[in-house]
Amino acid sequence: MQKVVLLGMKIIFPFLLFFLCVQISQSQDLSKHHWENRLILLLTEDLADEDFNSQIKELESGLIGLEERKVIVYQVYQHQMKVGLEKDAEWTAATNLYKKYDEKNSPFEFYLIGLDGKVKLQDTSCISIDKIQDLIDTMPIRKNKIQPKT
pLDDT surpassing 70 at residue 78: yes
Q: What is the pLDDT of residue 63?
A: 96
User: Which domains does the chain carry?
Assistant: 2-146 (3.40.30.10)
User: Which residues, other chains included, contact 103 with Cβ-Cβ below 8 Å and sequence gap of 6+?
Assistant: 109, 122
When pLDDT is averaged across residues 134-146 and rounded to a whole number, the result is 85
Write phi, then psi, for 16 (nearest 5 degrees).
-65, -40
Could you read off the pLDDT of 96-134 as tens digits, one per residue? 888 888 777 899 999 999 999 999 999 999 999 999 999
How far is Cα 79 from Cα 45, in angstroms, rounded to an integer? 10
Q: Which tops the pLDDT comparison, 117 or 6?
A: 117
Could you tell me the pTM of the whole model? 0.77
For the CA atoms of 26, 32, 33, 39, what is the dihedral angle to 10 degrees? 30
pLDDT above 70: residue 19: no
pLDDT at 16: 42
pLDDT band of residue 31 (cuts 50, 70, 90) is confident
